């Protein structure tokens, strides 16, 4: 036997591609050649697979060995090819029946002692195997539950090269892995019932959730901006099965899946610190381009606390991906794409001195304040439909509150109903929420009867609203109508939307 083939999967972003691993063992001086665009980690595989094979008690063929990974044009990164490479060498050397590699995908990094170590990105790799018609995957034991989330493929977890060989040759077949029973999401997030007072901000949060509107919260430290933002994911509907698979795949590639396993079925929440680098925020890094907080928040909420403190370049890097719903990272080996359909929440103090006492102790001039919040303006803030001032809750307000505040589940039910109404109206358009719909479409296809938009038209004629601001008010008015169960926004809905727009602290 001179030539053998095994199969594995290479990832570009969250897209998996079937990779054929060929091993050729021929006469000649003992040498190992690796061809097909492998990166440094794949090069190091040579030493790992040799040691693993020898330490598993198998023979390393003392001849000329050529290993080829194809397609050659696909960038191949990381250590997940180890198991396929080792199996191909053993099959080519006559130590494993080559037929047992057919119809199987092998994934996993080998330790020098032959142990099989878990790798990132198992879920998208197994999804790609399923799409290619592969019936079985052999993965590291620690990845088995994740691999089993794809029902079209039988997943087998093995702890070592020896176990993998036993399974492949049918000597001691392993039981197929079961998907993790637990929901991959940790305990439900914080509840809205913990937010007392703040009726204005709570209402804005509900509207933001219902229409998937980007939101900005401006208020002094301690006014509860973070508390409010953290409770937004709890108001959003659970992820659809497809969205859950997408979100889990991104977290898998990032190595950020919780150990409990299972699909991530709730909207994720990411709150990168303002000192975060561009790579940490939008993705990147050396070698394999990793997803950043932006993509980890896909189908969920990206919260930028103290947003004016983020470096300008970092904020600018968010613009395009927010618009497109995906981030494209240019690497030497080609382009890597990660999804980035997020709901943005910006929080800011009204001024750089961030005096907790509010205006009383603040010594910032009006110009300083304008400049500070001005850092957010421009294209990023242009995407934000709701600008909400947040005030510290006073004891008087708390004393006035007669009832316990509404909890997240109650609000989430209204949000779900509003989303269903919007979904019905937008069916067939490609948009699913009001936050997605371009202003010109609202103004033409869903033009309001003249009497209902009269206040809006007046505000615009008086110069209180820009053309873009006009469209934002319209979008929000539709969401308010959806929440109220009205087929078309009435004058009151438009008025409330206008109020949410004009109370803003940021121009
Ligand atoms: Zn100040």
List residues bridging with 17 in a β-sheet. 10
**Structure tokens given for 104:** 């199987």
Ligand 1 centroid to residue 503 C-alpha, Å: 20
249-279 burial: b if 16+ Cβ within 10 Å, else e:
bbbbbbeebeeebbbbbbbbbbbbeeebebb
Q: Are 91 and 98 in contact (CB under 8 A)?
A: yes
Average pLDDT over residues 354-379: 74
Instruction: Answer yes or no: is pLDDT of 507 > 60.
Output: no
Q: Are 177 and 155 in contact (CB under 8 A)?
A: yes
Q: Which residue has the tokens 């969920």?
A: 300
Neighbours of 423 (CB within 10 A): 13
Instruction: Indicate the range of 43-57, 88-102, 281-295 predicted with least confidence.
Output: 281-295
Instruction: Answer yes or no: is pLDDT of 506 > 50.
Output: no
Under the banding of pLDDT at 50, 70 and 90, the label for residue 110 is very high
Q: Are 126 and 18 in contact (CB under 8 A)?
A: no
SS3 406: coil
Distance in angstroms (rounded) separating the CA atoms of residues 316 and 321: 10
pLDDT of residue 401: 66
Cα-based distances in Å from 472 to 214, 387, 495: 10, 11, 13
Q: In the sheet where 343-348 sits, what is the strand order?
A: 269-270, 301-304, 343-348, 214-218, 384-389
Ligand 1 centroid to residue 364 C-alpha, Å: 4
Ligand 1 centroid to residue 348 C-alpha, Å: 12
Residues with CB under 5 A from ligand 1 (ion): 351, 353, 362, 364
Ligand 1 centroid to residue 222 C-alpha, Å: 14
Q: Are 100 and 58 in contact (CB under 8 A)?
A: no
Ligand 1 centroid to residue 376 C-alpha, Å: 17
Instruction: Answer yes or no: is pLDDT of 505 > 50.
Output: no
Ligand 1 centroid to residue 305 C-alpha, Å: 17
Ligand 1 centroid to residue 204 C-alpha, Å: 25
Instruction: Answer yes or no: is pLDDT of 387 > 70.
Output: yes
Ligand 1 centroid to residue 140 C-alpha, Å: 55
Neighbours of 409 (CB within 10 A): 13
Ligand 1 centroid to residue 380 C-alpha, Å: 23
Cα-based distances in Å from 106 to 92, 127, 414: 16, 13, 47
Ligand 1 centroid to residue 359 C-alpha, Å: 7
Mapping DSSP onto H, E and C, the string for 476-507 reads HHHHHHHHHCCCCCCHHHHHHHHHHHHCCCCC
Interval 474-492: pLDDT, tens: 999 999 999 999 999 999 9
Ligand 1 centroid to residue 274 C-alpha, Å: 19
Ligand 1 centroid to residue 366 C-alpha, Å: 9
Name which residue leads in pLDDT, 83 or 319: 83
* Cα R_g (the chain), whole angstroms: 28
Name which residue leads in pLDDT, 88 or 171: 88
Ligand 1 centroid to residue 350 C-alpha, Å: 7
């Amino acid at each position: 036997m001179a030539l053998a083939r095994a199969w594995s999967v290479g990832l570009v972003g969250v897209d998996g591609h079937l990779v054929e691993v060929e091993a050729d063992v021929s006469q000649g001086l003992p040498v190992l050649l690796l061809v097909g665009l492998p990166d440094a980690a794949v090069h190091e595989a040579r030493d790992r697979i040799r040691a693993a094979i020898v330490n598993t008690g198998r023979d390393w063929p003392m001849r000329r060995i050529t290993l080829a990974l194809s397609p050659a044009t696909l960038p191949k990164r990381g250590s997940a090819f180890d198991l396929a490479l080792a199996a191909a060498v053993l099959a080519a050397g006559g130590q494993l029946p080559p037929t047992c590699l057919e119809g199987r995908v092998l994934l996993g990094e080998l330790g020098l002692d032959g142990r099989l170590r878990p790798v990132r990105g198992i879920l998208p790799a197994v999804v790609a195997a399923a799409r290619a018609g592969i019936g079985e995957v052999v993965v590291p034991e620690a990845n088995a539950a994740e691999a089993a989330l794809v029902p079209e493929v039988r997943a087998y977890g093995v702890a070592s090269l020896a176990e993998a060989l036993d399974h492949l040759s049918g000597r001691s077949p392993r039981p197929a892995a079961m998907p993790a029973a637990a929901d991959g999401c940790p305990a439900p997030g914080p509840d809205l019932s913990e937010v007392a007072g703040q009726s204005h901000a709570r209402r804005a949060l509900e509207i933001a959730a219902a229409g998937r509107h980007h939101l900005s919260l401006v208020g002094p430290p301690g006014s509860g901006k973070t508390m409010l933002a953290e409770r937004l994911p709890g108001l959003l509907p659970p992820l659809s099965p497809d969205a859950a698979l997408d979100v889990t795949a991104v977290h898998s590639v990032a190595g950020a899946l919780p150990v409990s396993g299972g699909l991530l079925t709730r909207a994720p929440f990411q709150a990168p610190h303002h000192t975060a680098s561009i790579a940490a925020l939008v993705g990147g890094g050396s070698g394999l381009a990793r997803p950043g907080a932006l993509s980890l928040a896909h189908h969920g909420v990206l919260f930028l606390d103290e947003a004016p403190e983020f470096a300008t370049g970092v904020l600018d890097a968010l613009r395009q991906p927010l618009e497109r719903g995906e981030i494209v990272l240019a690497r030497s080996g080609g382009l890597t794409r990660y999804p980035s359909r997020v709901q943005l929440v910006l929080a800011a103090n009204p001024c750089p001195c961030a005096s907790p006492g509010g205006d009383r102790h603040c010594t910032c001039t009006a110009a300083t304040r304008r400049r500070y919040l001005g850092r957010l303006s421009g294209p990023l803030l242009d995407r934000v439909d709701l600008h909400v001032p947040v005030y510290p809750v006073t004891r008087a307000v708390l004393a006035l509150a007669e009832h316990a505040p509404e909890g997240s589940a109650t609000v989430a039910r209204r949000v779900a109903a509003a989303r269903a109404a919007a979904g019905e109206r937008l069916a067939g358009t490609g948009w699913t929420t009001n936050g997605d719909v371009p202003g010109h479409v609202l103004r033409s296809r869903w033009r309001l009867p003249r009497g209902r938009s009269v206040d809006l038209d007046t505000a615009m004629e008086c110069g209180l609203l820009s053309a873009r601001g006009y469209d934002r008010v319209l979008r929000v008015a539709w969401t308010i109508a959806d929440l109220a169960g009205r087929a078309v926004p009435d004058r009151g809905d438009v008025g409330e939307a206008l109020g949410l727009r004009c109370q803003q602290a940021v121009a």
